[in-house]
């Protein structure tokens, strides 16, 4: 699922499809836009430290504490948890705002020496409006800059304009800040 529906983009930038499809543009008619949609989704997920779409995920790593931060929030269902290849009783696991909390099974002083794997279902049921708006703004910005991607200035008969480096727009970052997963990103 894309963070922004193609129809919203098409209506805002007046894309016209080939005559063979009756003039109604589809995402298949604009492969560069499909790449941008995927790229912006990846950038947004990286910035907020979480997976947005509801799906099944597997995450693994080394335990820092009995709290295991997960990327697909909110967590909907825990399927399995193993710590040092031993399965953990799912009734002992508590779902938290940042992921899951394990029972006190890891002795003090052994953190980072204990490997975990969590299989779970998580992510948003519906993409929040501010994330969708952030994605729409970023996609439109990058689509309009395609001819000048990577340029630090653009010149034409009317003069020269300095452009910022490619990255998430300040307004996009502002819209996304409240969705940051500090369990993954840190403080």
Kindly give, in sequence order, each residue whose CB lies less than 8 Å from that of residue 99, ignoring residues fewer than 6 positions away: 67, 68, 69, 70, 73, 75, 118, 183
Task: State residue 125 phi and psi, 5-degree precision.
Answer: -65, -45
Domain-embedded: residue 10 = yes
Residue 162 pLDDT > 80, yes or no?
Answer: no
- Taking the C-alpha atoms of residue 57 and residue 40, their distance in angstroms, rounded to an integer, is 21
Residue 171's pLDDT is 96
Q: Are residues 110 and 91 in the same domain?
A: yes
Q: Are residues 179 and 146 in the same domain?
A: yes
Domain-embedded: residue 1 = no
Q: List the helix and strand counts (H, then E) for the chain.
A: 5, 9
Task: Express each pLDDT in 110-126 by its tens digit.
Answer: 556 788 999 999 999 99
Domain count, the chain: 2
Q: Are residues 11 and 99 in the same domain?
A: no
Which residues are registered as beta bridge partners of 55? 122
CA 172, 173, 175, 179 torsion-angle sign = positive
User: What domain range is 112 assigned to?
Assistant: 55-122
Residue 126's pLDDT is 92
When pLDDT is averaged across residues 56-78 and rounded to a whole number, the result is 91
Domain-embedded: residue 108 = yes
Residue 116's pLDDT is 92
- Taking the C-alpha atoms of residue 8 and residue 17, their distance in angstroms, rounded to an integer, is 15
CB 56 within 8 A of CB 75: no
Q: Global pTM?
A: 0.81
Q: Are residues 115 and 132 in the same domain?
A: no
Which long-range contacts does 141-147 make (Cβ < 8 Å, 24+ apart)?
141/169, 142/36, 142/39, 142/40, 142/166, 143/9, 143/13, 143/32, 143/33, 143/36, 144/13, 146/32, 146/36
Domain-embedded: residue 22 = yes
CB 106 within 8 A of CB 83: yes
């Amino acid at each position: 699922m894309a963070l922004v529906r193609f129809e919203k983009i098409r209506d805002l930038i007046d894309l016209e499809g080939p005559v063979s499809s009756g003039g109604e543009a589809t995402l298949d008619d604009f492969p560069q836009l499909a790449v941008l949609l995927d790229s912006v989704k990846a950038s947004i997920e990286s910035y907020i430290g979480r997976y947005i779409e509801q799906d099944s995920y597997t995450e693994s790593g080394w335990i820092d504490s009995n709290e295991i931060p997960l990327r697909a929030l909110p967590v909907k269902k825990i399927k399995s948890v193993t710590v040092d290849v031993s399965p953990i009783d799912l009734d002992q696991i508590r779902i938290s705002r940042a992921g899951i909390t394990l029972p006190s099974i890891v002795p003090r002083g052994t953190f980072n020496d204990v490997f975990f794997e969590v299989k779970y279902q998580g992510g948003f049921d519906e993409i929040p409006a501010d994330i969708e708006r952030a994605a729409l703004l970023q996609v439109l910005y990058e689509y309009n800059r395609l001819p000048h991607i990577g340029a630090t200035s653009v010149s034409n008969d009317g003069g020269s304009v300095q452009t910022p480096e490619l990255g998430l727009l300040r307004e996009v970052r502002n819209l996304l800040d409240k969705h940051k997963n500090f369990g993954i990103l840190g403080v």
